[in-house]
Chain A
């Protein structure tokens, strides 16, 4: 046997050790790297916000100065959205889409390798200014919140420049990844798998990918204009030079609002699979869900103005953004209805993936309903930039996003590793997360109503009690995630072997393969009847 043959036998590409991961073009290796990166960043972003919550534990400045506070909240958000939530979804896409649609790998494997390897430098760029500041270079990381609003971002320190380049790398990575997913889904489906047989997870990702390709360039343009304003004397965002500071907000949110759905579609794609598997019943309203995805995707790019209703828009614009935003509740109600109809009259069991999926539906429901209220332009004047909004978007992003991802992790972990995870610990993880999550964010609704602005490092005495409760909740929530880490690591290192079809009621091509699937997935292309 030649060496090449041996390599094939063992299922590797010829590279071993570190280089296997550096040069890999295998969708599972890349998926794994995305997931590991995402988990690591989830802890980085979490650690930052624990510092913030410690500062907000009581009124007065305790452990940090306002500069650092502003940097931590902004970087927390950028890390959580771009480096925890999005890579988690991309990790799933790499792992699962080829398995689910019967493809041997992603369509553009080298591009895939690149998409991943742009992320670590981006993370480095974003975080490095913290370290540089310790050595007296610069004033630390981006201190404008994750929204970068000009003109504050024009005058802030060099942390902004670092963040701009980080955003560029992240954007390039996302667009390349998206193109890969689009091409894979279009070209590599198994014979017989028509679009209307495509698993919902693949549908969710397909729409996400189209949206990313559409809106990331807008963000890239906006931050490039910002860079020019900062260093080349342009005045895109300065009224004194003939520009418009609000233009930046329009550009940002034209990207930023769809971004919310971009991170949620993949999760909404996983949810029905899980519900159907644990209810032992087919997915309800498959077509309705696909259409709802499309409608939400299209609506999401025309409602950005609801983020900037206090900038003093004309009445007509306010009314338009109000009604179009409210309209998103219609397709969303269809999704919720289908989810509930999927478990209706099923034969349910409640393993961790199911718990997380159900918890996600309930808590994301709160995020959605409070979003409906926020759409009212007059009432929004009261909620905007208050803690009410912070609570609202954590109910959507943490409950709707992260908890959905966790459902997916538990659902697919045995398939990926070939081992069962500890069900008991996973259940503990769910209940701790769910309870601590509400303890953290429910009080923030009341803080917002009482008039506490967001992004303040110190607050009036009337906000003390709720802040303390919220901080305690956050510490428990943060600590619970260590349990998650433990369960995952333990499962990777061993455990009872997982059968090919891990869950009794699971449907789909990925469950026809052994767990873990072989390195080169489908030697023979499957057919879908």
Chain B
């Protein structure tokens, strides 16, 4: 098995250079932590080298095989010994509280100062296993999920350059602006981490946490969720696209137009075929992470949708209201204390209508009915 693994491994792109340190910093905070890190590494390596050298010297000179007589001293008795015993103590006190302590104090202050001169605010919501990005001032929000196809993960296809670090909707931010980032979560704790920003902060359900970034250069910056958040933890990338101010304005305008069109389309009457098509795309992106592409779920962890009582049961009562614990209710409002979250917060009317319609008519389910985006809208 080992041999097989090695031979299959050879075609991987062998990179010209290995990374020995933090990736190139893109924010003042990342630059600061890089400098702090480098300084610490020099200090600790120096300490290590000195201590190791003393040990090596002792190991080579104070051997029995060289016929040395062992000394008898037992503790800081003589003045010289007291002096030498206090030396490491004093050195470490100096390093801890002066050499490292003072710059660390300033770094912490800088890291924690999320508000002074902030130019804009974005809100990030983590959920299993996607990030929702919201621009409160602009009234837009969207969901960002892993774009790497399952076939690459299962080794059936060649992996892309940015394997596992690519998303469908990156967060787009302007360069040169201090962005205050608010974080929360809908289910479990996630952590938003972009190494090149020097930023890592937990997204905690029921609480708001904050951090900030001031991106200095345009580019695409990639990171990942850093808190174990269930089976999809390794598949929850963060991608930030930093662009110039005019490009940012243009992107905003486009995004707004797109979102308006979508809202408008919720008013139309949709055909079942269109809803199914839209629903299938969404299902694969969002629902398949737990319920599996086959709809079979994972026994014991995530219920199957194929043949499920809820999916094959009524969803609206005679008055057109939600049936409690019915299919539509479950999708819109989730099930508390489980991984099934309330999707009405993250998905649009069309999305919900599409995905519910799709689930009712796939995996061997034949309900034959559908729900219109406009119905979802009134049920919110």
Q: Interface on A for B, CB 8 Å cutoff?
A: 54, 57-62, 65-67, 70, 133, 136-140, 143-145, 149, 151-152, 154-157, 238-240, 245-246, 279-288, 310-312, 315, 318-319, 322-323, 326-327, 329-330, 333-334, 336-337, 340-341, 343-350, 358, 361-362, 365-366, 369-370, 372-373, 376-379, 381-382, 384-386, 446, 449-451, 453-462, 464-466, 468, 475, 505
Chain B residues engaging chain A, CB cutoff 8 angstroms: 1-2, 5, 8-9, 12-15, 18-23, 29-30, 32-33, 36-37, 40-41, 44, 47-48, 51-52, 54-55, 58-59, 62-65, 68-76, 81, 84-85, 88-89, 91-93, 95-97, 100-101, 104-105, 107-112, 152-155, 159, 161-165, 187-189, 191, 193, 195, 198-202, 204-207, 209-210, 222-235, 298-301, 336-339
Would A280 and B59 count as touching, CB distance under 8 A?
no
Q: How far is the CB of B62 from chain A (nearest CB, A)?
A: 5
Residues of A within 8 A of B8 (CB): 58
A384 to B201, CA, bound (A): 10
Residues of A within 8 A of B338 (CB): 155
Contact A319 B152 (CB under 8 A): no
CB-CB under 8 A from B162, the residues of chain A are 460
Q: For the complex, give the distance between the alpha carbons of A195 and B230 in Å.
A: 50
Given contacts A239-B204, A376-B107, list 7 more A-B pairs with CB under 8 A.
Answer: A136-B300, A149-B227, A155-B339, A373-B44, A378-B108, A379-B107, A381-B111
- Provide the main secondary structure of the chain A interface: helix
Residue on B with the closest CB to A378?
B107
- Are A453 and B226 in contact, CB atoms less than 8 angstroms apart? yes
| Contact B301–A139 (Cβ < 8 Å) | yes
Task: Evaluate whether A326 and B71 lie within 8 angstroms (CB atoms) in the complex, with A379-B33, A460-B164 already known.
Answer: no
Contact of B195 among A334, A382, A454 (CB under 8 A): A382
Beyond A152-B230, A280-B70, A376-B40, is A385–B191 a contact (Cβ under 8 Å)? yes
Q: Determine the distance from Cα of A318 to Cα of B235 in the docked complex, in whole angstroms.
A: 30
User: Which residues of the other chain, A, contact B233 by a CB distance below 8 angstroms?
Assistant: 66, 70, 453, 455-456
Task: Point out the residues of chain B lying under 8 angstroms from A468, CB to CB.
Answer: 9
Q: What separation, in Å, do the CA atoms of A377 and B206 have in the docked complex?
A: 24
Which chain B positions have C-beta within 8 A of A143? 230-231
Residues on the A chain within 8 Å of B109, using CB: 315
Q: Is the CB of A60 within 8 A of B152?
A: yes
Instruction: Report whether B228 and A149 are in contact in the complex, using a CB–CB cutoff of 8 Å.
Output: yes
Asked if B41 contacts A462 (CB within 8 A), the reply is no
Partner of B64, one of A238, A349, A372, A464: A349
Residues of A within 8 A of B165 (CB): 460
Taking a contact as CB atoms under 8 Å apart, the answer to whether B108 and A318 are in contact is: yes
Taking a contact as CB atoms under 8 Å apart, the answer to whether B58 and A330 are in contact is no
B187 nearest CB across to chain A (Å): 7
CA distance A29 to B225 in the complex (A): 48
The list of the 7 closest CB pairs from A to B, nearest first, reads A239-B206, A139-B300, A456-B234, A378-B107, A312-B209, A451-B195, A450-B19
Partner of B88, one of A312, A334, A366, A462: A334
CB-based contact B96/A133 at 8 Å: no
